[in-house]
Amino acid sequence: MVSKHYVAGYDAFVTFMKDFNGNGGAINILFTGAKLENGQSWCGDCVEAAPFIEKAVASHAPENSHFISVDVGDRPTWKDMNNAFRKDTNTHLSVIPTLIRWKNPQRLEGEQCANAELLEMFFSEDD
């Protein structure tokens, strides 16, 4: 079964990843906008991509892999060009949603995250 984790904010993300051990399993990270009171992200593209990503994780992610959902903050926080997620050399975020394989080249951004075929390839690829 895929291990799922949730982290909110840059400092929490850095702390979580510093101590995280994937035990050899792929570490897939989704960066998305913070949730509103209705439970959905303020980011329309993130809301649109969510069911595609959830389905791909359930049907294509390897059993021993990890899926970490990271909340990049509210709209003003994300739109700040000095946002730490944008500056971090490990994340290089320019759009959300962004799905990455930690410390590997696999990456889907924006509308790509709502493409079932690309998601299947992303989760099926070995490191």
Residues designated as active site:
43, 46
Amino acid code (one letter) for 17: M
CA distance 122 to 101: 9
Four-residue CA torsion sign, 22, 104, 122, 69:
positive
What type of residue is 37?
E
CA end-to-end span of the chain, whole Å? 19
**What is the separation of C-alpha 118 from the centre of its chain, rounded to a whole number of angstroms?**
15
